């Protein structure tokens, strides 16, 4: 017997990873198990590391991003259910343990679910949370917002040592006339 909610594809209803797998005790599809919170965070962190691979990133940014995704899902019961069912479905799709898959197999599995509403919901929060992390900024060499630090002009805007010096010349000829229509002048 299948879980009827597992096949709800309405835009407002929860959507989970639709995986058909044989249960070890019966002949029917495997039931997606309820996840312990720690396991959900582990699965989500691994999913994020595979979906957004950066060899230099430590676990911290991925763990904080997982926490942000979990927090966003907690705001809506349907989103939370879809997230937990989708994460549980990753284990089913991996035939037991998504965490134990090698990188290539984990990436292939995620490519298969990349357009699923489950993954789209994760991605919509994760991409912002991961790349708005101050530790990630440091790792990528991004100095952060310029506005609150007085702009870029006097803060190393021209500190690119791999480019040749800029050739800036002042325009010395007569001023150029700008053509403006009457409608634009109003």
How far is residue 42's CA from residue 72's CA, in Å, rounded to a whole number?
17
Alpha carbons 168 and 29: distance in angstroms, whole number: 69
Look at the chain and count its residues: 186
Q: How far apart are CA 2 and CA 21, in angstroms?
A: 11
pLDDT-flagged residues of the chain (< 50): 1-31
Q: What is the DSSP string of 125-173?
A: HHHHHHHT-HHHHHHHT----SGGGT-STTTTTT--TTSPPP------S
Burial environment of residue 123 by CB neighbours within 10 A (0 to 12, 13 to 18, 19 or more): middle
**Helix (H) / strand (E) containing 107:** helix 103-113
Report the alpha-carbon distance of residue 134 to residue 144 in Å, rounded: 8
pLDDT score of 2: 40
Q: What pLDDT is stored for residue 75 in this prediction?
A: 92
pLDDT, tens digit (0-9, with 9 covering 90-100), for 67-112: 999 999 999 888 888 899 999 999 999 998 999 999 999 999 999 8
This prediction's pTM: 0.65
**pLDDT, position 54:** 95
């Amino acid at each position: 017997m299948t879980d009827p909610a597992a096949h709800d594809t309405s835009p407002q209803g929860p959507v989970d990873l639709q995986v058909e797998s044989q249960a070890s005790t019966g002949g029917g599809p495997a039931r997606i198990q309820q996840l312990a919170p720690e396991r959900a965070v582990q699965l989500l962190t691994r999913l994020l590391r595979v979906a957004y691979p950066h060899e230099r990133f430590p676990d911290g940014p991925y763990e904080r991003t997982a926490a942000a995704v979990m927090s966003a899902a907690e705001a809506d019961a349907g989103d939370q259910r879809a997230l937990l069912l989708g994460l549980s479905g990753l284990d089913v799709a991996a035939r037991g343990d998504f965490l134990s898959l090698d990188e290539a197999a984990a990436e292939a599995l995620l490519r298969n679910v990349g357009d699923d509403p489950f993954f789209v919901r994760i991605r919509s929060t994760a991409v912002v949370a991961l790349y708005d992390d101050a530790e990630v900024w440091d790792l990528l060499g991004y100095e952060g917002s310029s506005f609150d630090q007085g702009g870029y002009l006097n803060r190393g805007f021209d500190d690119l040592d791999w480019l040749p010096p800029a050739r800036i010349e002042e325009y010395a000829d007569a001023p150029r006339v700008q053509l403006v229509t009457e409608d634009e002048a109003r």
